[in-house]
Amino acid sequence: MAGQVALFGVLGALTFAAKVAMMALPNIEPVSLLIMVYAVTLGKKCLFPMYIYVILELLLYGIGIWSIGYLYVWAILALAAWLLRDMKSPLGWALVAGGFGLLFGALFTPVCLLLGGPAFALSWWLSGIPFDLIHCGANFALVLILFVPLRRLMTRLLAERF
């Protein structure tokens, strides 16, 4: 039990550190990849490292449109990955991550709707489309290359240690 708690803390912190390390690159992030790996290897327990990461985001960047959206967008990705957990194809996983990147801005529109109304939400989504396109391409490439080996590594480490 204590080992698992420590593991979740380390994974949450690792996710945050990886995100910060890649922050200079617009919408090119390792979080989608890691959340998907956690979802298929930890199941519902992936919520622990995921929300540790979200709490770290809130602590560092405060409360805003992004951080409020983070409360649910990563859970949507984790749920999608968990539902598709039997899929083996790297291309299939890349498509999931690419689709998530493409929809990323749209997933924040409920927060924008509540905070600023329909015009603000539409404007927010439209102005972010170039970043969503980058996010889609970067997620697709990262997951295509890294998802399968990371999943294998994580599965082996979890089997050895827990």
Partner 1 sequence: MKKNTKLTLCLVTLLAAVALLGAVYLAARPSPVTGEKSIAVTVVHADKSEKIFRYETDAEYLGSVLMEDGLVKGEQGAYGLYIKEVDGEVADFAVNGAYWALFEGEEYATTGIDATVLEDGDQFSLVYTLG
Residues engaged in binding partner 1 (CB under 8 A): 23-26, 61-64, 89, 91-92, 95, 98-99, 102, 116, 119-120, 123-124, 126-133, 136, 140
Please name the residue that has the structure tokens 């039990």. Answer: 1
Residue with Cβ nearer partner 1 (24 or 159): 24
Residue with Cβ nearer partner 1 (9 or 117): 117
Residue with Cβ nearer partner 1 (51 or 131): 131
CB of 8 to partner 1, least distance (A): 27
CB of 77 to partner 1, least distance (A): 15
Which value, to the nearest 10 degrees, does the dihedral of the CA atoms of residues 72, 73, 76, 81 take? Answer: -130
CB of 126 to partner 1, least distance (A): 5
Residue with Cβ nearer partner 1 (123 or 155): 123
